Amino acid sequence: MKRVILAGATDGIGKALAELHASKGYWVAILGRDPAKLDALLGGLSSRFPAATLRGVVCDFRDNSRLGPAFDEAVRAIGHCDQFVYVAGIMHATDGVTSVPEDDAEMFQVNTVAAVQLLGIAGNYFRLAGKGQLVGISSIAGDRGRKLNPAYCASKAGLTTYLEGLRNRLHPFGVQVVTVKPGFVLTKMIAGRSGVFWAASPEEAAATIDRRVDKGHEVFYVYRRWGILGLILRHIPRFVFKRVGPP
C-alpha cells in the first residue's frame, strides 16, 4: 500500500489530496502548521476512511529548523515514504502598486525556501532508496512575472526551476520529479477575486494530480488549456507584456 507524505494539507488542494489518498486506504502523513486544524482533519478522515492509516506532524514552514525533523517524524510515523508532495503555499493580497517587504519575504519562505529544503531532503531519501515520487505544486503564475504580485510569481518560478534541476539530478536514480502548475482552483487563495475563469474544484485538481503522477507525467497544468495559455504568455514580447499583460 502506498505511503505518502503531504506537506501542507489542511486546506485546498492538499486537503483534497489527503481525502483522496485516505479513500484508497493509503498510509498518509500530513505536515501542517495548525495543530487544531491538523487534528480536525485527521479525525474526520479516520472516521470516514477507517482502512487508511493517518498521522499528523506539526510543522511551521516558516521555521527552517523544523523542516528536517518534521520529515523524519513523518517517515517514522508511516514506516517509509513512496511519494512526497509539497503543496504548502501562500499568496498575500496586493494593491498592484506597493511592495510589502514582510509579505513578500513570507511568500518566498513558504513557497520557495521551505519547499526547496523539504523537496531536497525527500530527494536524498528517495535517491538512497532508488525509487520514489517527488511532487511540487507550483503555479502558472511562475511562467511570467506579473505586476499584481511579482513576489508570488517569482516564488513559484523559483520552485519550478528548482524542480526541473532536481528532476535532472535524480533521473539516474529512478526518482520521478513532478511539477504541477494549477490555474485557478477554488480555494481561499482566490476567494473574492474577480476575473477568475477555468476554475477547478480542489477535488478535481487532486484527482488530476493523482492520475497524471501515476501515469508518469512530469510537468503539467491541471487543465490542459492552461498550458496553451501559459505558452502564449511566455512568448508575448517583453515590451508588449509590460504594457498590456495580465495583472
Q: Distances in Å between the alpha carbon of 161 and those of 94, 112, 128?
A: 25, 10, 23
pLDDT over 90 for what percent of the chain?
81
Query: For residue 49, what pLDDT is reported?
Result: 97
Q: pTM for the whole thing?
A: 0.93
Q: Of the ranges 16-20, 154-158, 196-200, 230-234, which one carries the lowest mean pLDDT score?
A: 196-200
Q: Is there a contact between 40 and 15 (Cβ–Cβ < 8 Å)?
A: no
Give per-residue pLDDT as tens, 40-69: 999 999 999 999 999 999 999 999 999 999
Q: At how many degrees (to 10) do helices 150-170 and 101-108 cross?
A: 20
- Residue 225: CB atoms within 10 Å: 11
Contact partners, residue 16, CB within 8 Å, separation at least 6: 201, 202, 203, 205, 206
- Residue 207: CB atoms within 10 Å: 16
- Residue 218: CB atoms within 10 Å: 14
Give per-residue pLDDT as tens, 137-188: 999 999 999 898 999 999 999 999 999 999 999 999 999 999 999 987 877 7
Beta bridge partners of 112: none
Rounded Cα gap, residues 196 and 184, in angstroms: 7
Rounded Cα gap, residues 178 and 135, in angstroms: 5
Rounded Cα gap, residues 178 and 208, in angstroms: 13
Domains and CATH numbers, the chain: 3-244 (3.40.50.720)
Give per-residue pLDDT as tens, 64-95: 999 999 999 999 999 999 999 999 999 999 99
Which three cell numbers, joined as nine digits, stand for 104? 513578500
